[in-house]
Structure 1
Amino acid sequence: MASNVRTRFAPSPTGYLHIGGARTALFSWAFARRHGGTFILRIEDTDVARSTPEAVQAILDGMAWLGLDADEGPFYQMQRMERYKEVIQQMLAAGTAYHCYTSPEELDRIREEQRARGEKPRYDGRWRPEAGKVLPTPPEGVKPVVRFRNPAEGVVAWDDLVKGRIEIANTELDDLVIARADGTPTYNFCVVVDDLDMGITHVIRGDDHVNNTPRQINILQALGAQVPLYAHLSMILGDDGTKLSKRHGAVSVMQYDDDGYLPEAVVNYLGRLGWSHGDDEIFSREQFVEWFDLDHITPSAAQFNTEKLNWLNAHYIKQADNARLAAEVARRLARRGVDPEAGPAIEAVVALYKDRVANLNELADSTELYCVEVHPAPELVAQHLTEVSRPALAGLKARLAAATWEKSALNQAIKDTMAEHGLKMPQVAIPLRVATLGVAQTPAIDAVLEVLGRERVLARMARYV
């Protein structure tokens, strides 16, 4: 394929960038990258009542977090109004559009009458110019809408790159309003002019847009434009097989950051949501770009699987650089009001726990125990800091005070204590964990002590022995 591939991601800023939109963006971005083409970001903000600067920023933040860099844009439709109006004037002059003075009340009445006759409710074409047809006199003081003069015969067809051949009879389509009475252009019209002006070759988008496609193709053809190729992605279902909702994933992409996911895990997961490369489950962004094609997108709905996302995230956390994880953990601790500098070096703590967690928040939970004064649950204290274990801990504390502070020496101090008191490892290690970190389970206790540091260990033990 030639390198003139031009794709676009065109969200409406009426809400956040959610998983469905993020997958569309990823596929559009990857297709452009695969073919050495151009990826364009376009903000479709013509719904002025519902579009907000916060939602625009959330889209930009989500794209940046996922690493989906645009080659051009962001372009904003509200800044292109003059261009849309210019094209509408051209279409009026060419006869491919016309003024319609039918009021909303009249339209409602026409549709009611059509329903009563068992017909499909639609605009009846009363202001559409036809050879030999005498049009009504425009009513006084009524501002007309502008309608597209849809072809009256034939079919509009395209070979969808995901869904296959789709054909719609033009008789099924009425004459679409392309400019409202106040002159503002409508969504379907703006999309067409943008795709034309930006030279879009491939439109990759959700299949909720399939119904818009025949109208957009007809307008493009009326403008003498090259019609792009279309690929409509099936919807994403939740874990339970129902439509994705806020309950299971249709939240802002940035919520995944808040929930402790790494962006590469989310990108890898999204890549496998409705597309596959054999049985490969784990692949880098670079590998995804190299493999990505439209042929292996499934036309059936994809199902979100939180368990698999968590598994991927755990994998990427294990692989991640400790310094990067430490910075992520420090950011999370600071947000909780915990001073990340109050404990030992976070990198050292992260190294102990990164193989044991599914997300960054769990990593922060474990690290927090090293930075704050811990208060074990009373039942833990009662269960483990007993009359048997306290004397052993007292002896161990004396040994630790004199020990060289490195793992093998700390391990030897624990073993000597066990031998002296006739105890097994759990009978010393678990009370020690409760006394120092307030929990009964941790990584290897000698490694924990080494990282926690002599002063903290002895001070925390001193509360119990």
Structure 2
Amino acid sequence: MLRFAPSPTGDMHIGNLRAAIFNYIIAKQTNQPFLIRIEDTDTARNIEGKDKEILSLLNLFGLLWDKLVYQSHNFSHHQKIAQYLIAKDKAFYCYCTKEFLEQKREEAKAQKRAFRYDESWAEIHKDSNPKPVVRLRGAREEIGFVDEIKGEISFNPNEIDSFVILKDDGIPTYNFACAIDDMLYDISFIVRGEDHVSNTPRQILVRKYLDYTKDIGYAHLPIILGESGSKMSKRDNASSVSWLLEQGFLPQAIINYLIAMGNKTPTEIFKLQDAIEWFDIKHIAKSPVKFDIKKLRFINREHLKMLNESELALLLNTKDASVGGLAKLYLQEASTLNEIRDKIDSIFAPKDIYALYEEQDFSEPCEILYKAFVALMAEHSPALREYGALKTELMTRTGLKGKNFFKPLRILLTGTSHGLELNDLYPFLQLFLTDIVRLKS
């Protein structure tokens, strides 16, 4: 079984989504179930409703799961296993106060050495601290594993000291709950971010002490860098999956981009189903990858081009395929749904002819042209059916020509003084002239 294990403590990061995509693909490739495990052990940081938001996003991206579990539902199971480990002398109660441990950390820092927990401290405060934690005994030998991206990784025993598996309120820690649940649900392979590399030997140690012999495969994804070259943080808007969607990027384009990042793909533009045919986790680059919004914009435009007029219209909240046809024309200069919406909204909004366009005042020729246009519509003139005939008729009636004709005509039809050729736009615009040729009061 493959799993994606998000925490409901904040917005979904693109790095999390990338891990979810890869786990999903490998599950499909190997014909194994795909599990979503909501890791809600950090009760203080859990945000109400974030789990539903995560599930909604996964659904939107087509990452449909076979099983959904909440880690908190297994708390009693985790606690029983902790007691079993205590009975086997693989874990023990630690009565150290937080103040004592902080003092030891400061001493280590002052001496410029790594802080390591000493098991001899365990009962120092037994008489004064009624709420002990439970710690797993530290590693006694080297722990190593093969990472499908990074290769062989090993940790010396002194790098894995005795760590907390149950907090003083009985709630399991992340590493303990994670290790137990990966056993419980028979997880075979894990794709996650490289910030988890140091967690992996601790989780292996938990299973080792429980005599769990199944080998779990690992692939730790390199971090995603922001455009500045530093690690992408929550302050980077583009790090948020919700923000990218709000900007008008398509789910299928985001998937395409995240799979292609630091990867060798047979084609530049593809869909999730295509990737299932050829994806290989071993081809992911070991080094960090920089997030390139320009590249995402290019991929998004290509996916928008793949939609037909009706599909594009629905994404713009209309069932009129003609609007979808108009939107497809604007893909010459727009890359996201938001940019297309701005173009379409500008066309259908009442026109402000008294505004300055390119720092020029076209209000007078706009007024003249508007009156002639309204007259043609009132007459149901045949000239309205074709751009060439319309242009000739309006020029004849108004006496306008050159820039004083074409700029005002474009303003009345599109709300801007420059853009795509009116000759290309007009076959779609002429279907909505009464909605388009209106002035702002």
TM-score (norm 1): 0.84
Question: 1:132 maps to what in 2?
Answer: none
Question: 2:437 maps to what in 1?
Answer: 460
Code of the aligned partner of 2:308: D
Q: Does 1:71 align with 2:58?
A: no
Please give the residue correspondences for 1:187-266 in structure 2 after superposition, counting only pairs within 5 Å: 187-225=174-212, 226-266=214-254
Code of the aligned partner of 1:433: R
Kept in 1, the 8 Å contact 2:249–2:336? The answer is yes
CA distance in structure 2 between the aligned counterparts of 1:458 and 1:245, rounded to whole angstroms? 45
Q: Does 1:376 align with 2:343?
A: no
Code of the aligned partner of 1:220: R
Helix, strand or coil at the partner of 1:13: coil
Helix, strand or coil at the partner of 1:41: strand
Q: CA 1:235–1:455 in 2, change beyond 3 Å: closer, same or farther? A: closer
Code of the aligned partner of 1:32: A
Code of the aligned partner of 1:287: D
Kept in 2, the 8 Å contact 1:239–1:248? The answer is no
Question: 1:429 maps to what in 2?
Answer: 406
Superposition deviation, residue 78 in structure 1: 1.2
Any idea what the Cα deviations from partners look like across 1:61-115, whole Å, max 9, x if unmatched?
2212222111211x11111111101111211122211222222233334445555
Superposition deviation, residue 397 in structure 1: 6.3
Task: Find 1:58's aligned residue among 47, 53, 57.
Answer: 53
Kept in 2, the 8 Å contact 1:39–1:70? The answer is yes
Code of the aligned partner of 2:168: A
Count how many residue pairs are aligned between Structure 1 and Structure 2: 438
Deviates more, 1:175-184 or 1:185-194: 175-184
Q: CA 1:228–1:277 in 2, change beyond 3 Å: closer, same or farther? A: same
Deviates more, 1:360-369 or 1:243-252: 243-252
Kept in 2, the 8 Å contact 1:160–1:231? The answer is yes
Helix, strand or coil at the partner of 2:26: helix
Q: CA 1:9–1:377 in 2, change beyond 3 Å: closer, same or farther? A: farther
Kept in 2, the 8 Å contact 1:16–1:251? The answer is no
Task: Find 1:120's aligned residue among 111, 114, 118.
Answer: 114
Deviates more, 1:119-128 or 1:213-222: 119-128
Kept in 1, the 8 Å contact 2:187–2:216? The answer is yes
Code of the aligned partner of 1:299: K
Q: Does 1:366 align with 2:378?
A: no
Question: 2:170 maps to what in 1?
Answer: 183
Code of the aligned partner of 2:127: P
Question: 2:34 maps to what in 1?
Answer: 39
Q: Which runs of 5+ in 1 are unaligned?
A: 1-5, 129-134, 331-339
Q: Does 1:347 align with 2:328?
A: no
CA distance in structure 1 between the aligned counterparts of 2:404 and 2:107, rounded to whole angstroms? 85
Question: 2:13 maps to what in 1?
Answer: 18
Q: Which runs of 5+ in 2 are unaligned?
A: none
Q: CA 1:416–1:161 in 2, change beyond 3 Å: closer, same or farther? A: same
Kept in 2, the 8 Å contact 1:449–1:457? The answer is no
CA distance in structure 2 between the aligned counterparts of 1:167 and 1:351, rounded to whole angstroms? 53
Any idea what the Cα deviations from partners look like across 1:221-260, whole Å, max 9, x if unmatched?
1112223111111100012212113454454312212111
CA distance in structure 1 between the aligned counterparts of 2:165 and 2:88, rounded to whole angstroms? 15
Q: CA 1:454–1:70 in 2, change beyond 3 Å: closer, same or farther? A: closer
CA RMSD of aligned residues (A): 3.2
Code of the aligned partner of 1:210: V
Question: 2:80 maps to what in 1?
Answer: 86
CA distance in structure 2 between the aligned counterparts of 1:175 and 1:378, rounded to whole angstroms? 71
Any idea what the Cα deviations from partners look like across 1:148-188, whole Å, max 9, x if unmatched?
12232x21011111111111111222111111222221111
Helix, strand or coil at the partner of 2:313: helix
Kept in 1, the 8 Å contact 2:351–2:440? The answer is no
Deviates more, 1:180-189 or 1:197-206: 180-189
Question: 1:333 maps to what in 2?
Answer: none
Q: CA 1:71–1:425 in 2, change beyond 3 Å: closer, same or farther? A: farther
Q: CA 1:415–1:253 in 2, change beyond 3 Å: closer, same or farther? A: same
Please give the residue correspondences for 1:271-290 in structure 2 after superposition, counting only pairs within 5 Å: 271-277=259-265, 280-290=267-277
Question: 1:145 maps to what in 2?
Answer: 133
Question: 1:163 maps to what in 2?
Answer: 150
Superposition deviation, residue 354 in structure 1: 4.0
Superposition deviation, residue 52 in structure 1: 1.2
Question: 1:299 maps to what in 2?
Answer: 286
Deviates more, 1:422-431 or 1:301-310: 422-431
Q: CA 1:84–1:326 in 2, change beyond 3 Å: closer, same or farther? A: same
Instruction: Using the aligned pairs only, state the percent identity.
Output: 32
Helix, strand or coil at the partner of 1:53: coil
Helix, strand or coil at the partner of 2:218: strand
Q: Does 1:357 align with 2:358?
A: no
CA distance in structure 2 between the aligned counterparts of 1:371 and 1:205, rounded to whole angstroms? 46
